[in-house]
Amino acid sequence: MSTAKEVSLLQIFPKTSQIKNNHLFIGGCDCVELADKFGTPLYVFDKTSLLNRCEEFKKEFGSRYPNSLVCYASKAFTNRPLVTILKDTGVGLDVVSGGELSIAQSAGFPPKNVYFHGNNKSEAELKQAVEWGIGRVVVDNFYEISLLEKVASEQGKTQDILLRLSPGIDPHTHRLTSTGVVDSKFGFLMAHAEAAVIAALKAPHLRLLGLHAHLGSPLFDVEPYLEAIPLLLNFAADMKRKHGFRLEEFSPGGGFAITYVRERPAPPISYYAEAITSAIKAQVQKSGLDLPKLTVEPGRAIVGSNAIALYRVGASKDIPGIRKYVSVDGGMGDNIRPPLYEAKYEALVANKASEPVTEKVTLCGKYCESGDILIKDIDLPPLSPGDIIAMPSMGAYSIPMASNYNASLKPAIVLVENGKATLMRRRETYQDLIDKDEF
């Protein structure tokens, strides 16, 4: 089990973060000036930290297991500017919908390094993927085997696939982000896995290359991987003996943790890489298999720590002896994770970054829900209307799960590097909300 000491607040922010003249700077940009220029709520991605994170993943896994591919799980956040940046890093890409697939296509991402996941892919989505020449379809159920066989046959192609298995392992994370347990909508149960292998091997337009499992996220310990890997590789060896199945590729999924709060720092990438690659090598040797290609799927662990959200303080409400609420101009509309997953965050006042924390407050959003709380009971400097709150570790899942609840506008996103800020996505307008309506 990984153990680590509490980290400092600034360590949770992107690597280029600095405090200068009482202000928070990221990527050489003053966060207060960014808020004034682009408005709030505002999401800020640090390009340098993002690129360094990709290289770190490639190095830690590639140095231990040369035949490996790091695939960014784009469900964590994707848009065309981000995918354009990632395609030059040499990482692969996981997609789970026709929309994510279309973004990858629009950015010119190499299709051979794209993996298509999902428990209910439509015929139209599969046609889109096969026609594009997608590298792998990760097949989730028996219906998909027959549907994908039909699609590939109609196009006169043979599609490479992996089978997603549900190994029945408790990852000891939030129940809503546990995906490898028996009671999950994802993947073939191990009791049905042999039948899935047989069906895939019999499909003339499908080429079964390997097995995939995703246990859940975020995983702070490697024990779930160490339990799943022998189980899955023993199954592969059994399928080799019984049916001639050759395991050419194997993926234990992703789920790697990031640091959200100081008292629970995430392990380094090397911790996961060493455990996973060592377990695969040891089990392959025991099972008489050849070393398969390894794919891992970090999403949160690529983008999560490399972005922050900026909010502007508005009204406050002091309930003596109970709590002081301080409202900001965002909330559950742009970050649903606290009410949905009980997610915990830290915060810093970007225009009072050096000032002592003397007041306990609860940061709440502007939405018409009592559960619209971003951070409960956090110590900050005294707050006034107009102050800028900076929340770290906001790069994953906040943006793609954002909504237009209360007819609110989804925030702008900027990319910072060497003192320059570039829009990655403009802020929505009220006209955007109206333009899609028909009457």
At 304-344, the pLDDT tens digits run: 999 999 999 999 999 999 999 999 999 999 999 999 999 99
Contact criterion met (CB below 8 Å) for 352 and 361: no
How far is the C-alpha of 129 from the C-alpha of 376, rounded, in Å?
43
Question: In the structure encoding, which two tokens stand for residue 106, read together?
Answer: 């629009």
How far is the C-alpha of 292 from the C-alpha of 210, rounded, in Å?
8
For position 169, what pLDDT does the model report?
86
For position 180, what pLDDT does the model report?
45
Which alpha helices (DSSP H) does 208-343 contain, by range? 223-243, 269-287, 300-303, 337-341
Q: Is 368 a catalytic residue?
A: yes
Contact criterion met (CB below 8 Å) for 427 and 39: yes
SS3 content of the chain, % helix, strand, coil (to 5): 35, 25, 40
End-to-end CA distance of the chain: 58
| Of residues 249, 260, 256, 257, the one with CA closest to residue 297 | 256
For position 176, what pLDDT does the model report?
44
The catalytic residue among 31, 71, 364, 368 is 368
Rounding to the nearest 10 degrees, give the CA dihedral for residues 167, 281, 110, 105: 20
Sole residue written with tokens 């009204």: 315
How far is the C-alpha of 329 from the C-alpha of 286, rounded, in Å?
57
Enumerate the β-bridge partners of residue 321. Answer: none
Pairing state of beta strands 323-328 and 307-319? antiparallel
Q: What angle do CA 206, 105, 207 make, to 5 degrees?
A: 10
The burial of 322, by beta-carbon neighbours within 10 Å (0-12 exposed, 13-18 middle, 19 or more buried), is given as: exposed
Stretches where the chain sits below pLDDT 70 are 1-4, 171-182
Rounding to the nearest 10 degrees, give the CA dihedral for residues 307, 221, 248, 208: -80
Contact criterion met (CB below 8 Å) for 115 and 95: yes
Q: Is this structure's pTM higher than 0.85?
A: yes
Question: In the structure encoding, which two tokens stand for residue 375, read together?
Answer: 């951070």
Question: In the structure encoding, which two tokens stand for residue 394, read together?
Answer: 């906001």
